[in-house]
Copies of this chain bind each other. A is one copy, B any other.
Amino acid sequence: MTAPSLKEQQQRLRDDVILAAVNELLARKGYDAMTVDEVATQVGLTKPSLYKHYGSKEALAAAALIRLLDQTLATIAAQSPTQPPIDRLRSVLRWALEQHLRSAMPLLPATRSALRESLLKNSVYLERLQAVSGTLSNWIAEAQADGSLSTALPSEVMLYTLYARTCDPVLEFLQAGGNFSDAEVVDLVLITCFDGLRPRPAVGR
């Protein structure tokens, strides 16, 4: 294992810039409306150059989504194991919501789309997704065991709910409304997610 060469570092940097642009366009416009020309222009390349590196538009999107899953795994790994599991879950969701507000969280593909089909055949994507889901599921089980998450809801429902909140349109609605700062928007959505809309009795006991 020698140190990465300059060329390798340059390639990694270039790929990161490309995939960040793809991520942003996926978040802002969705897969169908995003064009490869836009991506190329945004990173200062031309379309054929992109196609040399990524064989297709689908491959480009898949690479961007895998990068996002890797960032998610890094955020997960950064959580202190001494923290209560509910706080770890909240921190990761908070990070995801912040990404969303920065237009860095692509919306999930629609029920039936060519992209979804190709992702389901992408073993790298599936493996990373499984890694995220596995850890979060463990944390959910821990939080249910220590009483900080409801045991009335199946953990499957909780996991999917956390995923769904990361692409919650409420974030855009509140941001567009202009009555709240980004930080307030994140806090409000976290509250709706964990506490719901019904009132809760005062904390303590």
Contact = CB atoms under 8 A, between A and B. Distances in A.
Interface of A: 27-30, 32-33, 86, 103, 107-108, 110-113, 147-154, 156-158, 160-161, 163-164, 167-170, 172-174, 177, 179, 188, 191-201
A160 B32 CA distance: 25
B29 A188 contact: no
Q: Within the oligomer, what is the number of copies of this chain?
A: 2
A157 B170 contact: yes
Contacts of A172: 111
Contact of A148 (B191, B194, B198): B198
A161 B170 contact: yes
B193 A196 contact: yes
Most B-side CB within 10 Å, residue of A27, A28, A167, A170: A170
Contacts of A161: 170, 192, 197
Given A112-B29, A157-B170, A196 B192 contact: yes
B169 A164 contact: yes
A193 to B, nearest CB: 6
A29 B153 contact: no
Given A169-B167, A173-B160, A153 B197 contact: yes
A61 to B, nearest CB: 14
A70 B40 CA distance: 43
Q: Which 5 A-B pairs have the closest CB atoms?
A: A196-B196, A32-B32, A160-B173, A195-B196, A150-B199
